[in-house]
Amino acid sequence: MLLEILTPDKKVYAGEVTSVSVPGTSGSFEVLNNHAPIISTLEKGSLKFKAKEGNQEMNISGGVIEVLADKVVVLVESLL
C-alpha cells in the first residue's frame, strides 16, 4: 500500500510500505494491506513503518491518519 506523510512545511515521505503503526488517540494500532477505511486522530508518539528500504521510525507531535483504498495519508503537525 501507499504511504504519504505530510507536514505543512513539506512532504516527509511517500512510498510503498507493508505496514504502518501509529499512536492513535484511543490506542496505537497498525495498518496492513487492505485495511478498512478509517480516520483517526493521533497523539504524540512514534510512527513506525516497514518499507522495502527497511524499517523507519519518526516521532510526531500528533495529527490525523486517513486510510482509504490501500492508501494511507498521515497528516502530522510537526516532527520532533
Partner 1 sequence: MANLKEVRLRIASVNSTQQITKAMKMVSAAKLKRATDAVVQMRPYANKLKDILANLTASLEGNESEFTVQRELKNVLVVVVTSNRGLAGAFNANSIKTANALINENYADLKKSGNVHIIAIGKKAQDYFTKNKYNVIGNNNDVFNSLSFNTSVKISSEIMDGFVAGKWDKVEVVYNQFKNAAMQILTTEQLLPVQATVSATAVKSNVDYLLEPSQEEIVNGLIPTSIKIQLYKALLDSHASEHGARMTAMDKATENAGDLLRALRLSYNQARQASITNEILEIVSGANALSAS
Binding interface with partner 1 (CB under 8 A): 4, 6-11, 24-26, 36-41, 63-64, 66, 68, 73, 75, 77-78
- Which of residues 26 and 54 has its CB atom nearest to partner 1 in the complex? 26
Nearest 10 degrees: Cα torsion 54, 25, 70, 6: -70
Nearest 10 degrees: Cα torsion 53, 4, 38, 36: -50
Which residues, listed in sequence order, are joined to residue 6 by a DSSP beta bridge?
11, 75
- Which of residues 17 and 42 has its CB atom nearest to partner 1 in the complex? 42
Q: Are 51 and 20 in contact (CB under 8 A)?
A: no
- Which of residues 37 and 54 has its CB atom nearest to partner 1 in the complex? 37
- The CB-of-54 to partner 1 minimum distance in angstroms stands at 25
- The CB-of-11 to partner 1 minimum distance in angstroms stands at 6
